[in-house]
Every structure is written in C-alpha cells, then in structure tokens.
Amino acid sequence: MDIFLYIIIFIIGTLFGSFFTLAVYRLPLKQDITHKRSYCPNCNHKLSFFDMIPILSYIFLGGKCRYCRQKIRPRYLILEVLSGIVFVLFAMSIKLSIYTTNISTIIYFVFGLIYIATLFIIAGIDKENHKIEKGVLLFGYIMQTLYIIYLYIVEKDPNVYRYVIYLIIVLILVLVNTFYLRKKVKSSYPLDILLLCIMFLMFTYEAISILTIYFTLLVIAISLIIKKLINIIRKNVDTKEEKPVPIGYYLCITNIICLILANYYIFF
C-alpha cells in the first residue's frame, strides 16, 4: 500500500512544481499568484485545465503553447519532475508509511514539505534575478513559527528556547536593516542571505546548516573553476560583466539535499 502513498506524494510534488514555476515568474513582477489564472507569457492567452496538468500537458502539447505554438522552456517540465522526486525522497527519508506513521511524523512531514517548497521558490527567483524575495522569506518564518508553537504546546520540546533566540536575532537584523542599513548600503542581498541561513538553523539545526554552507561554498568554487577553464579552452575574451553568483540558489538546493540525507541517517 505504501507504493500508492508515494505515487500520491509524487503527484502532489508535481503540482507544487507547477506552482513553483508560476511563483518564480510572477513574484518578481509583483503579480498575484493565487487568484489570477495562469496564462501564456508570450500570447497572454489564459490556460485551460488541460493545459496545466503537470508533466502530461507538456508532453502531449509537444513542449509548445496550444494557442501561439511558442516553445515552452524545458525547465518547467524538469522542475515538475524534480519536485515530485524530492517530495517522495523526503517522505522516504522519514520512513513515512500508512501502517506505522504517527501524528508527530505527519506534522513534521507537512511542515517539511512547506519548508522545501519555500526553498524551491527562493532558489528559483534568486537564480533568475539574483534576489531573495522577502515575501517568501517572511512566509517561511511564519510557517516555522507555527511549527515552533506546535512543538512547544504538543511535543513539549525542551529545546524550544533555541528557536526563540533565532527569532530574536532575526527581529534585530530586520530592525537594523529597516532603520539603518537601508539608508547606508545599496543592496540588502548579504543580509537576506544571512536571514536565509538562520531559517536553515531553525528547521534543520546547526550541524546540517554548517554542512549546507560548507558544501555550497565547495560547489560554487568548483563551478567557477570549471567555468574559467571552459572560457580558457574556448579562448573566450568576452569583456561583458559576468552575472553575480546566485548564492541563495546554491544554499537552498544544498540544504534540501543535506536535509534529506540527514533524515536517512537519523530515521534509518
């Protein structure tokens, strides 16, 4: 029976993946992501239900818009598939089962999926725009606060003080940014990265967060070296200014991977 559970989780993951693509495109443009119907960004035609079935619509439409025949970027299909896979891997990492799962595991699973969804959106926007969307970051903190309240009231977690300390630090950083840094610095990106890392600390604890930062720096360093070598081999002398490294993107993806691997270690 668990196979059917994981199939359902995969389908839910693909639905979330479809929503991620919408959020990543609309949020930087300050467009509504909940009430406004999906539309083709090329011809602006509103999409029907059969145009928005995750994975299947892309395959049956041949990767093109039904109305203007404009090619749809493969990343939409890739993100839907990856979202489904990540959701299943997360469920498997905590040994989610119809037969043995308790309410505590289910609550952790639900908040874990919300956490992963938040990181997906933050990563997508940062990769495209080199920006940490503050609204999404705020949503992540609100969800974590609700989870903290649950842990304190229901689970009687004795370590709840650590969450309170991190929330106080976040509040101080936000106040400093609002009343001081915003007037002194051009970009709040470094502070947003710090707030993102604190969110890691709250949900994935210190060890996983440290591993996340370590492997992120390693991946960025390797990617920059590879890019440099490719440019040397191709004798690329393009003097255009290179795009800044989307640190938030790498952090989010690495944290998701570290979280799932750590769960396998803990639960198994």
pLDDT of 236 over the 70 cut: no
Would you state the pLDDT for residue 265? 86
Q: Confirm if 203 and 212 have CB atoms less than 8 A apart.
A: no
Q: Give me the percent of the chain exceeding a pLDDT of 90.
A: 48
DSSP per-residue letters across the chain: -HHHHHHHHHHHHHHHHHHHHHHHHHGGGT--SSSSPPB-TTT-PBP-GGG-STTHHHHHTTTB-TTT-PBPPTHHHHHHHHHHHHHHHHHHHTT--TTT--HHHHHHHHHHHHHHHHHHHHHHHHHHHS---HHHHHHHHHHHHHHHHHIIIII--TTHHHHHHHHHHHHHHHHHIIIIIHHH-S--HHHHHHHHHHHHHHHHHHHHHHHHHHHHHHHHHHHHHHHHHHHHHTT----SPPPPP-HHHHHHHHHHHHHHHHHHHHH-
Q: Which residue has the higher pLDDT, 53 or 212?
A: 212
Of 75-84, 121-130, 184-193, give the lowest mean pLDDT range. 184-193
Q: Mean pLDDT, to the nearest integer, of 210-217?
A: 96
Would you state the pLDDT for residue 238? 55
Would you state the pLDDT for residue 1? 66
pLDDT of 59 over the 90 cut: no
pLDDT of 239 over the 60 cut: no
Q: Mean pLDDT, to the nearest integer, of 157-182?
A: 84
Going by pLDDT thresholds of 50, 70 and 90, the confidence category of residue 43 is confident
Domain boundaries, the chain: 1-89, 102-268
Going by pLDDT thresholds of 50, 70 and 90, the confidence category of residue 161 is confident
Residue 56 Ramachandran class (φ > 0 left, ψ -120 to 50 alpha, else beta)? alpha
Going by pLDDT thresholds of 50, 70 and 90, the confidence category of residue 228 is confident
62-115: pLDDT as tens digits: 888 878 878 888 888 889 999 999 999 999 999 999 887 789 999 999 999 999
Going by pLDDT thresholds of 50, 70 and 90, the confidence category of residue 58 is confident
pTM over 0.85: yes
Going by pLDDT thresholds of 50, 70 and 90, the confidence category of residue 240 is low
